[in-house]
Amino acid sequence: MTTPPNERAGSVVILAAGLGQRMRSARPKVLHALCGRPMIAWVLDVALALDPERIVVVTGHGAEEVEAAVRALGHGSRVRFVRQEPQLGTGHALQVCLSELGADPGVTVVLYGDMPCLKPATARALVATQRARAAGGLALLTALPDEPRGFGRILRDARGAVTGIVEERDATPAERAIEEVNLGVYAFDGPGLVAALPQLSNANAQGEYYLTDVLAAFVGQGRRVEAVEVDDLDEALGVNTLAHLAEARWSLQLRILEAHLESGVAIEDPATTYVDHGVEIGAGTRILPCTVIRAGVRIGRDCEVGPFAQLRAGAVLEDGAEIGNFVEVKNTRVGPHAKAKHLAYLGDGQIGARSNIGAGTIFANYDGVQKHTTRLGERVFVGSGSVIVAPNVIGDGATTGAGAIVTRDSNIGAGEVWVGVPAKPLAKKAGGAGGAAQERRP
């Protein structure tokens, strides 16, 4: 998607140096997972949507881990990292970026790393507002949440013009009663920001340099300030605790499910369906309740998944495949119209078109040291309760009997029938119909 010039930022700075103490976790806050990707990936999406000349990520607590995660997302060449040590506040986090920003960083958008639900379109609209109505000044996002929990409050004068932001901890009781809050998303005039940052003071309740004080400085200089109110309060979710993380996950999950519903995927019960970010699902596919579909899964058209199915990374369902209850699929390609309807583990495999996997089948892919692959041809019939020990190959049209234990490297030929423990091939009785099948000598 191309970003129109009026919605494009010069620079984006993502603040991600904080400890996130209230998460009660050793993991850096911005690396907690939300729908199959770290929190910061969602914020990077917003930054990229602004198509800026530079993206700066400020790291501190867990800096190496955070930087490695951003690189693992493929953004290593697009992002510059600045270390903030120690962390002396959100204003200080911008001060340490001054040399990266230079004298004129263009319209500079600041995003907090703990706001994963902000929509790219909202950030683009904020930039457009700065350019149209607050050129030389700043535009910021505000909201009117039911509960202002911990947010800075927006101060306005008698005529309604924004004059400042007061942090909850510094606020008088009257200021605390203000319902309009600061979301921590700003689009600043670049040179104005660069000039204001060195002037910040830390004379406040937390002894920190507050980025929010730049707003008062702008007002003092007669620069324009525009507040843009978000009406979807989910976007305002700042994640400070694991409970907030769960709220953010649900909000993002609904967005993902709504996009699939719009593209023709029938999801019977969104409330019990987990689909990670980036999963491809073809139109006409039905997802039944209590199903978990992780990142890195691809599902074709007219498939059926669930109820109670789990598709993990590397699962690929070709058109018309069916995965039923209590079936786990990992790193396995399930061919067109192949079926595994009940109680199975299919790991590290390939299953050809129209094969049928009986109830209770296991691809025993792990020998305690290494993972191995199971390959099934087309129209294979795997009897109920079969264990196929990998590595193994089963040819087109072959059959395993119920309860067969197919030991490793059995490599069953096309059309053969193997039964028993350990499984052995059945020979067709010479002379035609009737009579019990005999064991064939290897």
Site residues for ligand UD1 per CB under 6 A: 15-18, 58, 84, 87-90, 92-93, 112-114, 150-152, 165, 167, 181-184, 210-212, 238
Question: What gap in Å lies between CA 117 and CA 273, rounded to an integer?
Answer: 19
Q: Following DSSP, what letter does each residue of 172-212 receive, concatenated?
A: -HHHHT---EEEEEEEE-HHHHHHHGGG----STT----TT
Parallel/antiparallel/unpaired status of strands 33-34 and 37-38: antiparallel
Q: Considering only CA atoms, which of 208, 31, 13 is closest in space to residue 114?
A: 31
User: What tokens does 268 get?
Assistant: 């019977």
- To the nearest whole angstrom, how small is the minimum distance from the Cβ of residue 151 to Ca ion? 8
Question: What gap in Å lies between CA 245 and CA 224, rounded to an integer?
Answer: 35
- To the nearest whole angstrom, how small is the minimum distance from the Cβ of residue 258 to ligand UD1? 25
Instruction: Give the residue with the Cβ less far from ligand UD1, 24 or 441.
Output: 24
Tokens 């709220």, residue located: 247
Among 39-47, 50-58, 86-94, 232-240, the segment contacting Ca ion (CB under 5 A): 232-240
Counting contacts by CB under 5 A, is residue 238 touching Ca ion?
yes
Instruction: Give the residue with the Cβ less far from ligand UD1, 92 or 249.
Output: 92
Pick what 410 binds: ligand UD1, Ca ion, none; C-beta below 5 to 8 Å, kind-dependent: none
Pick what 57 binds: ligand UD1, Ca ion, none; C-beta below 5 to 8 Å, kind-dependent: none
Instruction: Give the residue with the Cβ less far from ligand UD1, 235 or 276.
Output: 235
Instruction: Give the residue with the Cβ less far from Ca ion, 52 or 238.
Output: 238
Parallel/antiparallel/unpaired status of strands 417-419 and 79-83: unpaired
Pick what 93 binds: Ca ion, ligand UD1, none; C-beta below 5 to 8 Å, kind-dependent: ligand UD1
Question: What gap in Å lies between CA 315 and CA 294, rounded to an integer?
Answer: 9
Residue number of the CB closest to Ca ion reads: 238
SS3 state of residue 171: coil
Let me know if 342 is a catalytic residue. Answer: yes
Question: What gap in Å lies between CA 109 and CA 124, rounded to an integer?
Answer: 10
Among 72-80, 199-207, 230-238, 280-288, the segment contacting Ca ion (CB under 5 A): 230-238
- To the nearest whole angstrom, how small is the minimum distance from the Cβ of residue 255 to ligand UD1? 20
- To the nearest whole angstrom, how small is the minimum distance from the Cβ of residue 238 to Ca ion? 4
What are the angstrom distances between the C-alpha of 256 and each of 121, 187, 259, 270? Answer: 16, 27, 5, 10
Question: What's the distance, CA 210 to chain centroid?
Answer: 30
Counting contacts by CB under 5 A, is residue 335 touching Ca ion?
no
The partner residues of 430 in beta bridges, in order of sequence, read none
Name all contacts of 310-314 with Cβ < 8 Å and 24+ positions apart: none
Instruction: Give the residue with the Cβ less far from Ca ion, 166 or 281.
Output: 166
Pick what 212 binds: ligand UD1, Ca ion, none; C-beta below 5 to 8 Å, kind-dependent: ligand UD1
- To the nearest whole angstrom, how small is the minimum distance from the Cβ of residue 236 to ligand UD1? 8
Counting contacts by CB under 5 A, is residue 116 touching Ca ion?
no
Instruction: Give the residue with the Cβ less far from Ca ion, 47 or 398.
Output: 47
Question: Which residue type sits at 236?
Answer: A
- To the nearest whole angstrom, how small is the minimum distance from the Cβ of residue 93 to ligand UD1? 4
DSSP class of residue 31 equals G
- To the nearest whole angstrom, how small is the minimum distance from the Cβ of residue 88 to ligand UD1? 6
Binding mask 275-294 for Ca ion (x = CB under 5 A): --------------------
Instruction: Give the residue with the Cβ less far from ligand UD1, 89 or 324.
Output: 89
Counting contacts by CB under 5 A, is residue 20 touching Ca ion?
no
Counting contacts by CB under 5 A, is residue 28 touching Ca ion?
no
Q: Say which residues have a Cβ less than 8 Å from residue 21's Cβ, sequence separation at least 6.
A: none
SS3 state of residue 256: helix
Question: What gap in Å lies between CA 388 and CA 396, rounded to an integer?
Answer: 16
Question: What gap in Å lies between CA 17 and CA 19, rounded to an integer?
Answer: 7
Instruction: Please give the residue ranges that form the binding site for Ca ion (CB under 5 A).
Output: 238
**Catalytic sites, residue numbers:** 342
